[in-house]
């Protein structure tokens, strides 16, 4: 059996590789939260513009009929903006789901590759251990070696 010395770089690389999928998932999550926050901010801006236009309308119109017709126009414009925002939200949700699915696939393939590598290393270690004698004598400490 080969005698390996302590290698800090190898240990750090192992941890970095082990936690790489977690870091990637966190980065994707932050991106989704950022986009969702910007989306909410845009909706709040639309409502703010609508409410300011309503306030201006109340101060500038002379007749109730004119007020009502302009109010209908403003509300129709807001509903169109909100319809576009709903489509934007559907796109945002679809992209978030796709990035999450990709992250899960990447993590799964990483785990499978690591497991296969660990199994190969364990098999090599077991084969190497067989060359040093009977492994059964190490398994039962109560059994006396003759």
pLDDT in tens, 53-91: 999 998 998 899 999 999 999 999 999 999 999 999 999
Candidates 100, 105, 109; CA nearest to 26 is 100
- Select from 104, 123, 139 the least CA-distant residue to 21: 104
Percent of the chain surpassing pLDDT 70: 86
pTM above 0.85, yes or no: no
Least confident range of 8-17, 21-30, 65-74, 137-146: 137-146
Q: Is the pLDDT of residue 140 over 80?
A: no
Residues 29-52 have a mean pLDDT of 95
- Phi, psi for 133 (deg, rounded to 5): 130, -165
Environment class of 67 (CB within 10 Å of its CB; exposed 0-12, middle 13-18, buried 19+): middle
Nearest to 92 by CA among 37, 15, 45: 37
């Amino acid at each position: 059996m080969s005698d390996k010395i302590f290698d800090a770089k190898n240990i750090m690389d192992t941890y970095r590789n082990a936690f790489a999928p977690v870091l990637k998932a966190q980065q994707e999550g932050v991106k989704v939260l950022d986009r969702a926050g910007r989306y909410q901010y845009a909706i709040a801006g639309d409502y703010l513009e609508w409410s300011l236009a309503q306030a201006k309308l109340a101060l500038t119109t002379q007749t109730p009929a004119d007020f009502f017709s302009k109010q209908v126009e403003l509300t129709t414009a807001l509903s169109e903006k909100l319809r576009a925002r709903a489509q934007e939200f559907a796109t945002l949700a679809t992209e978030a789901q796709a990035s999450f699915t990709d992250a899960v696939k990447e993590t799964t393939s990483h785990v499978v590759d690591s497991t296969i590598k660990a199994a190969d290393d364990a098999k090599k270690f077991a084969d190497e251990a067989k060359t040093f004698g009977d492994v059964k004598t190490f398994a039962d400490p109560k059994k006396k070696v003759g």
